[in-house]
A and B are shown apart, each in its own frame.
Chain A
Amino acid sequence: MNAPKLTAMQHGLQRCETCGLVSRPAPGKEESCCPRCGGELIFRKTKSLERTLAYLIAAAICYLPANLLPVITSTTFSGSESDTIMQGVVLLWSPTGWPLSLIVLVASIMIPSAKIAALLYLVITVRRGSIKSPGQRVRLYRLVEIIGRWSMVDVFVDTFTVALIQLQPLMSVQPAPGLFFFAAVVVLTMLAVESFDPRLIWDPASSKEVSYV
């Protein structure tokens, strides 16, 4: 059984992730640098799955305090009140403001959890050497890559609420500890996306593929 060589790696070639140049490493060398741009060259991202998984676990740990702890505290004469992210969504819900409320709900609660779940699925399938629908899994990865940044929206909402409502002693708003954990979830999931190497999804299929010419 001699499968055809399909990928650059099977041909012993490396593609520079920065400038796109394909080049040949010296025999026996795994890591080197690109002759055109000088960037680091490796066949696949080093310890990609391990690093992605580590970031995901860290993100999952931060996810709980991010949603349970309050993100802002408002102080008025009648005392102070703390709001979590979910309470912020509920507060925004009104006959006219519901589209924005929905955006925050999707961006702050659904996207981070969906991102963790999607990346976990990708890591598990790659680790098992799955050859099922690699094309769709790569598309899932690209989707996660694009929409991930939108979960930062709540951080900005709270930042500018805090910056504007500084009308002591009438009313003032302070950031609360949950904000740190929420920002941590966003950053950690973005780092997890960065550490994952989508080419790993195709590798098992590349070594077995027969139908593709």
Chain B
Amino acid sequence: MNAEGEIVPRESANQALADAALTACPSCDLLQRLPSVAPGQSACCPRCGTVLWRRRVESLNRTLALTVAAAILCLIANTVPMLGLTVVGRESFTTVAGGAKKLWENGQHTVALLVFFAAVLAPALQIGLLLLVLLAARRKRPPAWVGLLLRHLPFSRTWSMIEVMLLGVLVALTKIADYATVIPGQALFALFALVFVLAAMQSTFDPKEIWDRVEWAETETRKPATGGRTMEATA
């Protein structure tokens, strides 16, 4: 930390290249120049075919709209009952988090935490992070903390398993339907919609659009030298 209380970056930071279009394939590491791509089109690695960049039409605005919708659906899905059943006059209801709670009460603590993380926490994190990133990216020059949040997005995405959970619920329903009457709750419909909204949200989001404009993590300390910054964002 320096006098202003800012975190001083590690001095080992790499030097940026003069040619900002230079990129490497994430699958085969082939060094190449990223072509300029029209919105709606994508660029692939000539050697292995991995998609390097999928440019979206109106990416940030569309994703923001979908993320707000996802946030509302996620809220509904986690507050109202998801499933209920009646058998000989007895009723039983559960929410999404209630499933994890029951496992915890039955001594399966690790699995309970995993279920809670994959079904509640990770999706909420994924939506929340993206919402913050998108709102901050409306500025002309998004601050460096946007990059910090954006860095953790792939992690939350890997572990957010709403669609897998919904399939699991469907299978559980079929099993239970043999001996009881199943009552679908509102949360079940919200989750069903959420699966599609999340998928749409992910496919309209183009992180490159934000990375190209974001404030660099290393600018503060590199100001006197400016050698590290050789490229300016192109809108």
Contact = CB atoms under 8 A, between A and B. Distances in A.
A152 B73 CA distance: 22
Interface string B146-158: 0110110010001
A13 B24 contact: yes
Interface string B1-32: 00000000110111111000011101111110
Interface stretch (A20-28, A48-56, A57-65, A116-124): A20-28
Interface string B58-92: 00000000000000000000000001110110101
Nearest to B177: A97
Nearest to A35: B218
B121 interface: no
A130 to B, nearest CB: 14
B45 to A, nearest CB: 10
A131 interface: no
A190 B158 contact: yes
Contacts of A202: 27-30, 47-48
Contacts, number: 251
Contact of B17 (A13, A149, A190): A13
Contacts of A8: 24, 29-31
A100 B170 contact: yes
B14 A33 contact: yes
B110 A180 contact: yes
Given A138-B50, A157-B172, A36 B164 contact: no
Contacts of A14: 14
Contacts of B176: 161, 164-165
Contacts of A100: 170-171, 174
A67 interface: no
Interface stretch (B111-119, B125-133, B194-202): B111-119
Contact of A157 (B27, B85, B151, B168): B168
A159 B96 CA distance: 10
A19 B28 contact: no
B192 to A, nearest CB: 15
A71 B83 CA distance: 21
B164 A150 contact: yes
Q: How large is the interface on A (under 10, 10 to 19, 20 to 34, 35 or more residues)?
A: 35 or more
A212 interface: yes
A152 B118 contact: yes
B161 interface: yes
A9 B88 CA distance: 68
A134 interface: yes
A41 B16 CA distance: 13
Contacts of A195: none
Contacts of B216: 35-36
B203 interface: no
Interface in B95-112: 98-103, 106-108, 110-111
B99 A163 contact: yes
7 contacts: A15-B23, A23-B17, A34-B13, A38-B9, A161-B176, A165-B85, A212-B47
Given A37-B214, A174-B106, 18 more contacts: A5-B31, A6-B47, A15-B23, A17-B26, A18-B154, A35-B14, A138-B27, A142-B27, A150-B164, A152-B165, A156-B161, A160-B99, A160-B168, A162-B106, A163-B99, A167-B87, A175-B107, A202-B28
The 6 closest A-B pairs by CB, nearest first: A156-B168, A38-B217, A23-B14, A8-B24, A202-B28, A32-B12
